[in-house]
Amino acid sequence: MGRVVLVTGGAGYVGSHTVVELLKAGHTVVVVDNCVNAAKATEGNVLPPALERVQKIAGKTLHFHELSLLNRQALVNVFSKYKVDVVIHLAALKAVGESVEKPLAYYANNITGTLNLLEVMSEVGVKRLIFSSSATVYGVPQYLPADEKHPTGVGVTNPYGQTKYVCEQIMKDLSIADKEWRIVLLRYFNPVGSHESGLIGEDPNGIPNNLVPYISQVAIGRRPHVNVFGNDYNTPDGTGVRDYIHVVDLAIGHEVAIDKIFQSDFAGTKAYNLGTGKGISVLEMITAFSEACGKEISYKIVGRREGDVATVVASCALAEKELNWKATRGLHQMCEDTWRWQSMNPNGFS
């Protein structure tokens, strides 16, 4: 059954892939985005280029409004225009390293924007929300793989993670105070890859803050080498180990969460990890990408980066059991799809 789904941050990397899956599933999609993390619409076009291509992939149209969640009145206007059933809240500043350098910007944008959204949703009576959270809420893991029972908010190593933790707490408190609220927290691990068409993918503004888009820009010749932040961690090869998940698997996770949130027995706030349960080191990712693109990827070992931890790997058993969801795309496909996107779009969407 198709719903009217409002997606904040829907023109961004995870957002655009999620919108494809929502449209394919028969939902009506309304996107709001200030395009801080996405290419803006070019002259003469209404939609940002990522969303133009989303429509092409899905063969369906969507609705778009360029606005910031900090603009409360603009949000009110959008909700007055559509009969929204559920909100998928992706919009956020999202770079761990940058958040350490610019904490005020992260707290202002991520927390105030979320508060505005929740207040407006309360006012208009839309009380179903799927929230883009993060594995960073687990801080330095006390055990691995980290499951949803793992403590959150303890030893969180960066302001980005703190904003996700605070937003989770706000949502939990809200659903306790008002029993009509239904909230799913999706704790992402590390999204990588691109749509198999090569039409949409990760196109960071400026220097990429994440590993895989940086590797792909080195492969295409836009950057000289990859900086590997530390090779003295307690991991098999000394480099950081992360649970990388293909962005299409992640997008499908949002679509199935809609089914969950409309089940009659769903109540309150529930968290689910979305990952693969397998750890991949920085050097393993560089090697796999070299194989996918047929080129040697140059890299340099540099000092550790503030806010990073050695290893983070997910337990995704709960999502498999309750959402009937499991990641199916492996490391080879992550690299192959990323390279297809990057080689077809050497300068991203521009």
**350 in a structural domain:** no
Domain membership flag for residue 71: yes
Q: What is the pLDDT of residue 85?
A: 98
Is there a domain that residue 287 lies in? yes
DSSP state of 25: T
- Rounded to whole angstroms, the Cα distance separating 338 from 133 reads 23
3-class DSSP state of 88: strand
- Is 118 part of a structural domain of the chain? yes
User: How confident is the model over 55-91, as pLDDT tens digits?
Assistant: 999 999 999 999 999 999 999 999 999 999 999 999 9
Buried b (16+ CB within 10 A) or exposed e, 26-49: ebbbbbbbbbbbbbbbeeeeebbb
**Taking a C-beta distance cutoff of 8 angstroms, is the pair 143, 230 a contact?**
no
In a domain, 302, yes or no: yes
Count of domains observed in the chain: 1
CA distances from 138 to 92, 152, 253, 273, 311 (A): 18, 5, 20, 11, 12
| Residue 326, SS3 per DSSP | coil
Q: Does the residue 349 lie in any domain?
A: no
- pLDDT of amino acid 188: 95
Nearest in space to 156 (alpha carbons), one of 144, 172, 138, 133: 138
Active site residues: 160
pLDDT of residue 88: 99
For the chain, how big is the Rg over CA atoms in Å? 19
| Token output for 150 | 């793992």
β-pairing, 182-188 vs 268-274, is parallel
pLDDT in tens, 174-227: 999 999 999 999 999 999 999 999 999 999 888 898 899 999 999 999 999 999
What's the pLDDT score for residue 306?
80
Is there a domain that residue 161 lies in? yes
Cα separation, 88 vs 242, whole angstroms: 25
C-beta of residue 262 within 8 angstroms of C-beta of residue 228: no
| 185: CATH | 3.40.50.720
- Give whole-number Cα distances, 338 to 46, 149, 191, 251, in Å: 27, 33, 11, 16
**Which amino acid, 221?**
G
pLDDT of residue 180: 98
Residues of the chain with pLDDT under 50: none
User: Domain containing 45: what range?
Assistant: 4-344
pTM over 0.95: yes
> What CA–CA distance (Å, rounded) separates 29 from 6?
6
Per-residue confidence (pLDDT) for residue 337, from 0 to 100: 98
